[in-house]
Amino acid sequence: MAGFFKSILQRFTKPDIDWDELEAMLISGDLGPKLSLQIVTDLQLQQRKLHGADIVQVARDHVRKILPETNAALTPFQDGRPKVLLIIGVNGVGKTTSTAKLAHLLHHSGHKVVLAAADTFRAAAVEQLQVWSQRLNIPMVKGPPNGDPASVCFEAYDLACKTGAQFLLCDTAGRLHTKHNLMEEMKKINRILGRKDETSPHEVILVVDATTGSNALQQAREFHKAIPLTGLIVTKLDGSGKGGILVAIQQELGVPTRFIGLGEKVEDFQSFDSKKFVEELL
């Protein structure tokens, strides 16, 4: 992914800028049409000879203004309640892998974690999380095949309380944002968890795949409408994903990126750092 700005520098070496081409290039970097147009307009207003470096500087300034400077840390409650995170998103974006990676990160920093295998539609999905659970030595709660995902989360909440876990991570089924019943089911999980602790789930994290570009923005819109999101995990930034999409989602929906996925291994996961993202990754 690194090098989107570098490709702009390489392409625009002469001060004679083809505006249409620049706008197309910004859009293809997944920054979204709105921000791309703002950057182009801003540059056109400057009325002087512009080079690639000027373009990058203006684009960086815009991105910096959009992304929050700090990333809210995942801190446990002080009163002993487990903090509940609902991990949602469409199929294949990396929910189960990211749930395991996040569990590992929290576990590694000394917290007790419980996993809920709430993707009860596919046996393989439960097995996949179970493999992680065993490998990482983190307890997991599952239900019967095709059982009610909400009751899995309900039981997992009890286990988290009983064992004094600070975090409960619920991995859910890949809900197609166009499928009404699946959205309804996600709302049910949300509701049922609210019976345990009315402020729960405390975080609703949408996982999006950076390689899917503007599809990820559309997914974020639909999910955010169904259940307000508190953050994003952006995966596959090691691949062809350009990462600009997280800027577009922040700009349009105000949903911040909390973590990024940079590979398939459990360590390939980081807390999002906007400064590093703007300077090194974009």
- Among 123, 115, 76, residue whose Cα is nearest residue 99: 115
Q: Which of 94, 149, 201, 213 binds ligand GDP (CB under 6 A)?
A: 94
* 106 vs 129 by CB, closer to Mg ion: 129
Separation in Å, CA 55 to CA 5, 51, 66, 84? 9, 7, 17, 42
Q: Which of 15, 68, 92, 145 binds ligand GDP (CB under 6 A)?
A: 92
Which of 46-54, 87-95, 139-147, 150-158 is the region at the interface with ligand GDP (rule: CB under 6 A)? Answer: 87-95
Neighbours of 125 (CB within 10 A): 21
Q: Which of 35, 39, 125, 248 binds Mg ion (CB under 5 A)?
A: 125
Q: Outline where the chain has alpha helix (H).
A: 4-11, 19-28, 33-44, 52-66, 95-108, 123-136, 149-162, 180-196, 214-226, 244-253, 274-276
* 89 vs 201 by CB, closer to ligand GDP: 89
The DSSP result for 147-200, as a single string, is: --HHHHHHHHHHHHHHTT-SEEEEEE----TT-HHHHHHHHHHHHHHHHHSTT-
Within 8 A by CB and 6+ apart from 173, the residues are 118, 119, 120, 121, 122, 125, 149, 182, 185
Q: Which of ligand GDP, Mg ion, none binds 232 (CB below 5-8 Å, type-dependent)?
A: none
Which of 45-53, 119-127, 131-139, 236-244 is the region at the interface with Mg ion (rule: CB under 5 A)? Answer: 119-127
Report if residue 96 touches Mg ion, rule: CB under 5 A.
yes
CB of 89 to ligand GDP, least distance (A): 6
Q: Within positions 223 to 252, which residues make up the interface with ligand GDP, using CB under 6 A? A: 235-236, 238-239
* 35 vs 115 by CB, closer to ligand GDP: 115
Report if residue 95 touches ligand GDP, rule: CB under 6 A.
yes
CB of 268 to ligand GDP, least distance (A): 6
DSSP strand pairing (140-141 vs 113-118)? parallel
Report if residue 169 touches ligand GDP, rule: CB under 6 A.
no
Report if residue 261 touches ligand GDP, rule: CB under 6 A.
yes
Check: CB of residue 164 under 8 Å from CB of residue 79. no
Q: Within positions 40 to 79, which residues make up the interface with ligand GDP, using CB under 6 A? A: none
Helix-helix angle 244-253:52-66, to 10 degrees = 50
Q: Which of 18, 61, 264, 267 binds ligand GDP (CB under 6 A)?
A: 264
Q: Residue 72 corresponds to which tokens in the numbers above?
A: 């809210």
Residues lying near Mg ion in the complex (CB under 5 A):
95-96, 125
Residues lying near ligand GDP in the complex (CB under 6 A):
89, 91-97, 174, 235-236, 238-239, 261-264, 268
